[in-house]
Structure 1
């Protein structure tokens, strides 16, 4: 298997007192093992909404162009430097990055991020294996959605975005990705999900028939990316459902978020005979397959504006284990709010998840959220510093 030179999971040497302090903070939130059977190889899986989308640009590559370098004295470079430092501090083996734009030359953009930001500094980290693919954000819809007589971005798109690839996703891995076995569900139509939670107003369909027939379920995409760790294959189930806000009484985003999460529940629960991927193959994940659901799901089982029932069902499913990552920084941000230690977003909610299958053993978990007293707090002090989300990680032992 291929790993970064000189690195060994669980015995990473940190240079400097600051990084030692952060490592101690992360381990404070270690969780109990969910599977006592013998296991052999630990890996760290993470998700991080890096908020690296080109918010101030109308192109697909402005944020990570060749002109954006660590030594540049501007906010763009500083944000990306700090994002890289968070990843370097936690050092996941596999990490999903949400809101990393899919550009016209996606792998060149990712390589620029790796070479100029991740592979530098006192604690460089390398990810030789990468996966990305197109998403629905910014892709023009075939008919007018908002009724203004024009088809244009961002209102008339499969997923809200100012250009194709806006708010994209990237998977970085230190272990080989089985590209030929990847399944994507970008084009799966919402109407083809049995009992889909179609938006309504006063009992009447919100979408016109030609709109509903063309509407895709994924606001970005859903990926099943198999990663080979030694002789064991782990399916990374990655997505970024739409936020359940920015709509009206029809609750189109709340309902879509509900069904985007339901797709993964059906996929791992054996209820996905209806589901077809972008190559036309039907069905869900094989029983007994190892998986980890990762991403900014924009939902909580206990708080927020979404339909909480689907998140509750996913967390409580017998094939899914919830390690409940926590952090002292989240507690410090909202000391009077019960359950705040589990928050992963700056506005005060658990939105980001790493949910392994019960067939894997969760040894430890955490959220990178230093308290104001800790040296690396500057990496998360506001959205401009890095992101309004925090990196979430889980250490997993694989079965023999």
Structure 2
């Protein structure tokens, strides 16, 4: 796969998303700190600068060299010095296997709903657990599967909008009424409905100053539409987490129900946006609520484009006509860079997935090499 360098111009940026699987459970069997059941394992590895899996992730980022990149499944801690700052200093600022080091002077890193107890029995097993399936978002500990945005351009932190605590019930035309037991009775109790948040992690609107222009990064990581039962509570939550962005970018009465964590109401207020993240849904295959993902991609405010491709994905499942668009090792398109129609044109794009035998293919051999997802990127011209 050939990657042309991103032009050093205020008018051109490379934007990417990458589910990096950088959460503590992923490192429990590694040689360092082996078999420790410890929610701080990621941060221990970030401090060493020697974990090969994280070095490979850094090498992929150095290879693609995005100006702005969202990392999904990067554990959250309130102490940024042991999280993003350690990753930047000990891995990204260090040249990996002949690549040039890369620096991200700016980042956004905030709390998420995973592992945060809801105080109610969400999975209907008769017990209220402090984490797991009774958390606002599934996680063994608070902050698991978090999000991190890295940027080579300044972030307008004052005007970031987050929607971590937005209640699902407050969403217009939500799917809660369709989540039922086999006999048709509601799955969630009245208490649960009054408590449950929409975002399994969070939804973020992050303004990035690119020269004289503002680019809004709309970041999220909806719940996987599996690991539930016939009530389909995760599938329908995934649907509504994606629907949220469709409503938000309408920026009209459709978005009037939306309020952020500071109490400000309404939808998108800007010109350019890029929706980034592992959306855990595909429009043509898989277990997700495909229609909502298809609706988002076809939204009148989204720039219509062919999805990024890779030769590695295509070769992995040659019998599947969608394989060249796949972004996950297990064979689905779930990770997206979705730019607005306003203010952008696409120069080029790709999925970092070298075919077997090509240079750097060892970096994506399996999850242990880097991640079970692939970095997805687009080079965009501002206009």
TM-score with structure 2 length normalisation? Answer: 0.91
Cα deviation, 1:328-350, whole Å, max 9, x if unaligned, reads: 11111111111210000011110
Is the 8 Å Cα contact of residues 330 and 344 (structure 1) preserved in structure 2?
yes
Which of 303, 315, 318 pairs up with 2:285?
Answer: 303
Let me know the Cα RMSD of the aligned residues: 1.6
The whole-number CA distance in structure 2 between the counterparts of 1:322 and 1:174 is 26
Is 1:397 the counterpart of 2:381? The answer is: yes
- SS for the counterpart of 2:133 is coil
Residues in 2 aligned to 1:248 and 1:338: alpha-carbon distance in whole angstroms: 29
Out of 99, 104, 114, which is 1:127 matched to? 104
Kindly state the Cα deviation for residue 61 of structure 1 after the two structures are TM-superposed: 2.6
Which of 346, 350, 362 is equivalent to 1:362?
A: 346
Unaligned runs of 5+ in 2: 29-35
CA distance in 2, matches of 1:227, 1:362: 18
Distance 1:185 1:392 in 2: 24
Separation in 2, partners of 1:149, 1:224: 35
Distance (whole Å) between structure 1 residues aligned to residue 69 and residue 223 of structure 2: 20
How far is 1:322 from its partner?
4.3
| 1:67-146 → structure 2 map (5 Å cutoff) | 68-71=47-50, 77-121=51-95, 122=98, 123-145=100-122, 146=124
Indicate which of 193, 196, 220 corresponds to 2:201. 220
Q: Does 1:160 align with 2:138?
A: yes
Q: Shift of residue 148 of structure 1?
A: 3.4
Shift of residue 108, structure 1, vs aligned partner: 3.3
Q: How do residues 161-180 of structure 1 correspond to structure 2 at under 5 angstroms?
A: 161-180=139-158
Which of 187, 191, 203 is the aligned partner of 1:206?
Answer: 187
Pick from 317, 325, 337: which aligns with 2:299? Answer: 317
Q: TM-score, normalised by structure 1?
A: 0.87
User: Is residue 332 from structure 1 mapped to residue 332 from structure 2 by the alignment?
Assistant: no
User: What CA deviation, in whole Å up to 9, does each residue of 1:357-387 have, x standing for no partner?
Assistant: 0021111110000011212000000010000
Instruction: Identify unmatched segments of 5+ residues in structure 1.
Output: 1-21, 28-38, 72-76
SS of alignment partner, residue 382 of structure 1: coil
Q: What is aligned with 1:349?
A: 332
> Which one has more relative contact order, counting CA pairs under 8 Å at least 6 apart?
1
| Residue aligned with 2:42, SS | coil
* Count of residues paired in the alignment: 359
